[in-house]
Amino acid sequence: MKKLLAMTAVAALTLSTSVLAQEGKDVFDKACQICHTMGVAGAPKAHTADWEPRLAKGMDTLLNSVKSGLNAMPPGGMCTDCTDEDYKNAIDFMSAK
Global pTM value: 0.77
Q: Using CA atoms, how far apart are residues 32 and 53, in angstroms rounded to an integer?
A: 19
Q: Which residues partner with 73 through β-bridges? A: 70
pLDDT of residue 2: 56
Look at the chain and report how many structural domains it folds into. Answer: 1
pLDDT of residue 97: 86
DSSP strands (E only) in 1-97: none
Q: Using CA atoms, how far apart are residues 65 and 35, in angstroms rounded to an integer?
A: 15
Pick out the chain residues at pLDDT < 50: 4-7, 9-19
For 22: left if phi > 0, alpha if psi spans -120 to 50, otherwise beta; the answer is beta
Range of the domain at 82: 21-95
Q: Is residue 14 part of a domain?
A: no
Q: Is residue 10 part of a domain?
A: no
Q: Is residue 4 part of a domain?
A: no
pLDDT of residue 87: 97
Q: Is the dihedral of CA 65, 46, 87, 43 positive or negative?
A: positive
pLDDT of residue 3: 59
Q: Is residue 7 part of a domain?
A: no
Q: Is residue 15 part of a domain?
A: no
